[in-house]
Amino acid sequence: MDLREVFATNLRRLRHAKGLSQDDLAYEAEISRSYLSQIEKGAFFASLRIVGKLATALDVEPVELLKSPPKRGRQR
């Protein structure tokens, strides 16, 4: 999974956990909903400024948007 996919996955997860629609998050982060949608699809790269705006709107540290998901171990 590349960093853009990691970011998109974390962004969607955190947005859903906060109960926000794309419209709500876009408004809070002061970006367009269509741009947010493209970021969540992994189609667009997000600048550091946008990462900061989204983190602030989601009330998380920016690193939370960039963390790789934990590796799943084998089930015994």
Residue 55: CB atoms within 10 A of its CB come to: 19
Q: Could you tell me the pLDDT band of residue 2, with boundaries at 50, 70 and 90?
A: confident
- Can you say whether residue 59 is alpha, beta or left, with left for phi > 0 and alpha for psi between -120 and 50 degrees? left
**Ranges of H-type helices in 18-76:** 22-29, 33-41, 48-58, 63-66
Confidence of residue 71 (pLDDT cuts 50, 70, 90): confident
Q: How far apart are CA 22 and CA 40, in angstroms?
A: 9
Residue 22: helix, strand or coil by DSSP?
A: helix
pLDDT of res. 23: 97
**pLDDT beyond 80 at 72:** no
Q: Is pLDDT above 80 for 69?
A: no
Of residues 2, 7, 9, the one with CA closest to residue 63: 7
| Whether pLDDT at 1 is above 90 | no
